[in-house]
Amino acid sequence: MKVAILCGGRGLRMNELTEDMPKPMANVCGRPMLWHIMKNYKHFGFDDFVLLLGYKGEKIKEYFMDYEWRNHNFKLDTVKETLEFFEPVEDWKITFLDTGSETMTGSRIRRAKDVLGNETFMLTYGDGLSDVDINKLLEYHRSMGKIATVTGVKKKTQYGILTIQDGLAKSFSEKEDLGAVINGGFFVIEPEIFDYIDDNGTCCALEEAPLKNLAKDGELAVYLHEGFWTACDTYSDIININQLCNNGDSLWRAW
């Protein structure tokens, strides 16, 4: 089963990092975010990736083209023209698909239709880290029998909550769980999704008409994930996730 990863956004809210590289290549614990996402999928047996490239997509191509020799110890025999790696090398299959620098998420998926084929596929964003159990997600998707399943995560505010009456604080709750469930990415999708993406240009956002219409038609299942999940939308998010790593807490690693 193929795993499509949306890698095309500019990451304007982390411009300190993304001026020279695409957002999924932001460094987390010495590796790109994208690498961590792919390692988790591989842990659950999914190693056939379709990277939906956009802004500075050539940087992602360069990383993986040079990946083996840059990240592994090896012996080079210049006579036989062979390389012998001392550690196991990831046996990923990766399709690099340029989908346009300004293309929205739904349109990126549409442009991958021929590559994804007429079969179930996985989909996620290149900026979300989680320890979600992909096999349990797939099992749930199959049990629900819907066109798409999205991983839902509980939304928590990072700020204290004030209850106010007559200009006075009546209560204060720190980091209250609001109970809302948000789109955490990590989808399982049937090929019928393309009936909901009718845009052949660049302007269709998956999170707008396609998902809204799937929900209206009762075709969008939600797999609730209560483990670790974080979106890396800003420079401070990257700093925070690297601080976790420095403290020895790589909570998003399923492997």
pLDDT computed for residue 17 by the predictor: 63
pLDDT computed for residue 213 by the predictor: 93
210-219 burial, b for 16+ CB within 10 Å, e for fewer?
A: bbeebeeeeb
22-59 burial, b for 16+ CB within 10 Å, e for fewer?
A: bbbbbebeeebbbbbbbbbbbbbebbebbbbbbbbbeb
Domain assignment present for residue 187? The answer is yes
pLDDT digits (tens, 9 = 90+) for 223-249: 999 999 998 888 888 888 888 888 877
Domain assignment present for residue 79? The answer is yes
Domain assignment present for residue 156? The answer is no
How many other C-beta atoms are found inside a 10 Å radius of the C-beta of residue 80?
8
Per the structure, the complete domain to which residue 237 belongs is given by 2-150+181-246
Domain assignment present for residue 93? The answer is yes
Q: What is the β-pairing status of strands 187-189 and 161-165?
A: unpaired
pTM: 0.89
Q: What is the β-pairing status of strands 121-125 and 187-189?
A: antiparallel
Domain assignment present for residue 159? The answer is no
Domain assignment present for residue 226? The answer is yes
CATH code where residue 60 lies? 3.90.550.10
Domain assignment present for residue 165? The answer is no
Q: How many residues does the chain have?
A: 255
Tell me the CB-side half-sphere exposure of residue 168, using CA atoms within 13 A.
Answer: 2
pLDDT computed for residue 169 by the predictor: 45
How many structural domains comprise the chain? 1
Q: Which residues, given as ranges, of the chain have pLDDT below 50?
A: 167-170
pLDDT digits (tens, 9 = 90+) for 30-78: 999 999 999 999 999 999 999 999 999 999 999 999 988 888 899 998 8
Domain assignment present for residue 120? The answer is yes
Q: For the chain, how far is it from start to end, CA to CA, in angstroms?
A: 19
